Amino acid sequence: MRTATARTAVVAVALLLVVLCPTWAQVPPKKRAVPAKAARAQCCDEVRVLKVQVANLSSLLEDMGRRQEADVRSLVRQVLELEKQNHQQEARVTEAESKYSEIHNRVEIMQLQAAQAAPHTTSDAIYDCASLYNRNYKISGEYKLPKDDFLRTPDLDVYCDMETNGGGWTVIQRRKVGLTSFDRDWKQYKNGFGTIRGDFWLGNEHIFRLTRQPTVLRIELEDWEGEARYTEYGFFTLSNELNSYKLFLANYSGNAGDSLRYHNNTNFSTKHKDNDKCVDDCAQLRKGGYWYNCCTDSNLNGMFYRYGAHTKNSDGITWYGWHGPNYSLKRVEMKIRPQNFTP
């Protein structure tokens, strides 16, 4: 009975080992008779080898996984690199395009100057943005008005608004960036200052010359809430320097109020040149050059204040007819074109 139990046990272990160690199953059948202890020892060696193989395999798998991961990463890197090259290519194309258009622009201006050099009458002279518009320059931007021997005027960089209300506008003043000081002296207001694409005053001498033909003035205003309004004067001119660039206006229209009327018939004043109608030195108080009366109903060349309110001072960019004396506007443009202009 005991031997029978032992035998059953041996068979059971053998079966178990067959399941566990398939290699052992391949050994010749006669060895099935080996004692259990020896069988167990042999099998455990096999198990150990198997374990090592498994370990080797899993390390191999891990290795492969790592390599694959590295491959994926390098692939991603390549894709990114390609994308970057693509961007650079695009940037280069854009740059080339802008260079081309710049050159194109210059060629056009040269053609313009060549045309100017030819004998001409005043009627076809390139005199302002309106005459450029009439020659089919209908894109807003910076232009160079050629020097004119007939009018004895030097060449002049201007910004043309070729869109607003039919276009043909020569911009004479702009406030929008706020980094250019407008607290300047007579000579600077005479000749102009600032940058034509940013904040600037075109210059009283140029404005005087441009308004010798009957001229319309348009003033565009924007507040810090993003609302925009405008004022137009159907007639606008300055007298010459001998007459202190005195202002003449007529025929108001618009939705911002008539806040330049108070400055009608007044001389231009700057710091160190007090031509106002006041005991106070308005240019000093309002920190700009303007046709100061006593002193202001508008102060478009005043100090640039962010976010409008400047209750402590009276020197902001103001237009009393819209926001009163304590609100400094966000953006201003003053522009002119001939009365007889037709788009």
Ligand X SMILES: *[C@@H]1O[C@H](CO)[C@@H](O)[C@H](O)[C@H]1NC(C)=O
250 binds ligand X (CB under 6 A): yes
Comparing C-alpha atoms, which of 269, 233, 259, 258 is closest to residue 248?
233
Residue 115 phi, psi dihedral angles, 5° rounding: -60, -35
Give the number of residues in contact with ligand X, rule: CB under 6 A: 23
DSSP 314-337: S-BS-BHHHHBTTB--SEEEEEEE
Q: Which region among 29-37, 51-59, 154-162, 282-290 touches ligand X (by CB under 6 A)?
A: 51-59
CA–CA distance, 165 with 258 (Å, rounded to integer): 19
Among 89, 111, 122, 265, binds ligand X (CB under 6 A): 265
311 binds ligand X (CB under 6 A): yes
CA–CA distance, 106 with 88 (Å, rounded to integer): 27
Q: Closest separation between CB of residue 273 and ligand X, Å?
A: 10
Q: Which region among 13-21, 80-88, 142-150, 249-257 touches ligand X (by CB under 6 A)?
A: 249-257
Q: Which region among 45-53, 89-97, 128-136, 184-192 touches ligand X (by CB under 6 A)?
A: 45-53
- Taking the least distance from each CB to ligand X, the nearer of 51 and 306 is 51
Among 8, 23, 53, 122, binds ligand X (CB under 6 A): 53
244 binds ligand X (CB under 6 A): yes
* Mask for 4-43, x = binds ligand X (CB under 6 A): ----------------------------------------
CA–CA distance, 263 with 286 (Å, rounded to integer): 14
208 binds ligand X (CB under 6 A): no
Comparing C-alpha atoms, which of 319, 335, 154, 145 is closest to residue 221?
319
Q: Closest separation between CB of residue 265 and ligand X, Å?
A: 5
Answer for the pair 150, 307: CB distance below 8 angstroms, yes or no.
no
Q: Which region among 114-122, 186-194, 285-293, 323-331 touches ligand X (by CB under 6 A)?
A: 323-331
Which token pair is 340? Answer: 């007889």
- Taking the least distance from each CB to ligand X, the nearer of 132 and 207 is 207
Helix (H, G, I), strand (E, B) or coil at 281: coil
Cα Rg of the chain (Å, integer): 44
Residue 306 phi, psi dihedral angles, 5° rounding: -75, 145
Q: Closest separation between CB of residue 327 and ligand X, Å?
A: 8
279 binds ligand X (CB under 6 A): no
